[in-house]
Homo-oligomer: A and B are copies of this chain.
Amino acid sequence: MKTFFPEVGPVPYEGPDSTQPLAFRHYCADEVVGGKTMREHLRFAVAFWHTFRGTGADPFGGAVYERPWNTASDPMERAEDTLRAAFEFGTKLGAPFYCWHDRDIAPEADTLAETNRRLDRIVALAAQLQRDTGMQLLWGTSNCFSHPRFTHGAATNPDPHVFAYAGAQIRKAMECTHELGGANYVFWGGREGYSSLLNTDLAREQEQLARLLRMAVDYKREIGFQGILLIEPKPKEPTKHQYDFDAASVLGFLRRFGLFDHFKLNIEANHATLAGHSFEHDLEVAAAEGRLGSIDTNRGDPQLGWDTDQFPTDLYSTTAAMLVILRHGGLGQGGVNFDAKVRRGSLDLADLFHAHIGGMDTFARGLKIAHRILSDGVLDAHRQQRYAGWAEGLGQRIMAGAATLPELEAYVLSHGEPQPRSGREEMLENLVNDYLR
């Protein structure tokens, strides 16, 4: 059997003082943090597209990576090699999950029928490799944005024929996900949006999108798929105005079309920042409504206006994310998917390991820091005290829906001015830094 990373063995945990680059310093899968192992908390997944199908291309230059799994002349042999490479990589890395788009794992053929046969063949191999390695599918999804047919959108296309094509792809991708025991199924609508209102009927397109999601809900029930349906917001890129702009927009959309109970969100860090939010903001918005399903972890560049999808190495960000996640009881069936790519100039296979190891260690540190912060209780005690007034008297009446505007006026007329109170933001920032070591 071919190996693609012959020079790398299983990545060991060596602790914080290790100087060996290909080792974990912080992620120790079996270490228990707050009653669960790190493996259970974080449920790391490797993204098939970036890590195994990425070429290093950017808008100003073509492919740069030379991958050993990409050398066969037959496209299906390349696809199988690529799949085997993914399982070898994930296994050596110790990532319990992987994620794919349909077109990542099996190349499109001339007809849908043939494309689906290719998928079947690859899915069979994936099932076997899952059994062999113990790796599992965190989620599957359908790529309804790369092919020219989706240039003007998939579900939101002006042409119902394209809508049908998207539906056909999604049906098959859901079926494959189901077969592989996927824990979730994701919708990311990179072309579900518009470029110019001059040629767009926004209201109609939003209704089309709702239709497709409804069909997916029905089909899920039909096949008995138990995974969670996830929508992944992104504000722009490739399309200028994307309908799934951010968590709040998507939740509003779901309520509007009666779909709220059927979907959760897959929040991506760099998508949140492109929308003008912090990562933790969008996580909190989703979690506050019980709709945080899973996360795509990566990091944007604060000076660049596009999706840079860098690996997460910022401890502030992973700590903030884990604070939200731990407070809301964890990710459930979701996980932490590395929707991240190495830089164009990171040409070597080893760079894929460095990148994932760095990301996993950064998340593991974030988990441990967040857990310590919550366990120590200083932060939460401050917050509880800050809102204490809502647990009694006037505050309680207001939240119970018992107060009226005239009553509030009467209260102020008799009680006068409220007392100013510091928010202590700088002190709390210092507190976080104290834990960061």
Given the known inter-chain contacts A146-B60, A348-B422, please indicate yes or no for A171 contacting B408, CB distance below 8 A: yes
A355 at the interface (CB under 8 A from B): yes
For the complex, give the distance between the alpha carbons of A25 and B434 in Å. Answer: 8
User: Given the known A-B contacts A167-B408, A405-B219, A418-B149, are A394 and B160 also in contact in the complex, defined by CB atoms under 8 Å?
Assistant: yes
A100 to B302, CA, bound (A): 31
Complex copy number for this chain: 4
Residue A195 at the B interface, CB < 8 A? yes
Residue of B at shortest CB range from A390?
B160
Q: How far is the CB of A143 from chain B (nearest CB, A)?
A: 9
* Residue total for A at the interface (Cβ-Cβ under 8 A): 161
**Closest partner residue, chain B, to A285 (CB atom):** B202
Q: Which residues from chain B contact A56 at a C-beta distance below 8 Å?
A: 148, 151
Among B174, B214, B394, B432, which residue has its beta carbon within 8 angstroms of that of A161? B394
Q: Is A372 an interface residue, CB under 8 A from the partner?
A: no
Nearest chain B CB to A394 CB, angstrom units: 5
Query: Would you give the 0/1 interface string for A219-245, flagging 1 where the beta carbon is closer than 8 Å to chain B?
Result: 100100000000000011110110001
Residues of B within 8 A of A196 (CB): 423, 425, 428-429
- Check B389–A160 contact: CB distance below 8 A: yes
Q: Which of A28-36, A89-97, A311-319 contacts the other chain?
A: A311-319
Q: Closest CB of chain B to A163's CB: distance in Å?
A: 6
B interface footprint on A386-421 (CB within 8 Å = 1, 0 otherwise): 110110011100110101111011011101111111
User: At the interface, yes or no: A162 with Cβ under 8 Å from chain B?
Assistant: yes
A54-84 interface with B by 8 A CB criterion: 56, 58-64
Query: Closest approach, in angstroms, between the C-beta of A54 and any C-beta of chain B?
Result: 11
Q: In the complex, what residue of chain B is closest to A161 when comparing beta carbons?
A: B418
Q: How far is the CB of A19 from chain B (nearest CB, A)?
A: 8
A305 and B305 contact, CB distance less than 8 A: yes
Instruction: From the candidates B61, B248, B251, name the one contacting A245 in the complex (CB within 8 A).
Output: B248
Residues of B within 8 A of A262 (CB): none
Distance of A274 Cα from B199 Cα, bound (Å): 24
A423 touches B152 (CB 8 A): yes
Q: How far is the CB of A198 from chain B (nearest CB, A)?
A: 4
A371 within 8 A of B: no
Chain B residues near A162 (CB, 8 Å)?
418
Task: Tell me whether A216 is interfacial, beta carbon within 8 Å.
Answer: yes
Whether A64 lies near B420 (C-beta < 8 A) is yes
Q: Would you give 11 A-B contacts (Cβ < 8 Å), ordered by A?
A: A21-B430, A64-B148, A111-B416, A113-B413, A160-B398, A164-B412, A197-B320, A198-B428, A240-B301, A248-B248, A354-B430
Query: Which residues of B lie under 8 Å from residue A216 when comparing CB positions?
Result: 405
Other CB < 8 Å A-B pairs besides A171-B405, A252-B252, A347-B421, 16 of them?
A58-B238, A61-B146, A151-B345, A161-B415, A168-B412, A196-B425, A199-B382, A203-B288, A203-B289, A236-B276, A237-B304, A245-B246, A252-B256, A276-B303, A315-B433, A351-B422
Report which residue of A174, A320, A433 has the largest number of chain B beta carbons within 10 angstroms of its beta carbon: A433
Please indicate the chain B residues that have their CB under 8 angstroms from the CB of A8 in the complex. Answer: none
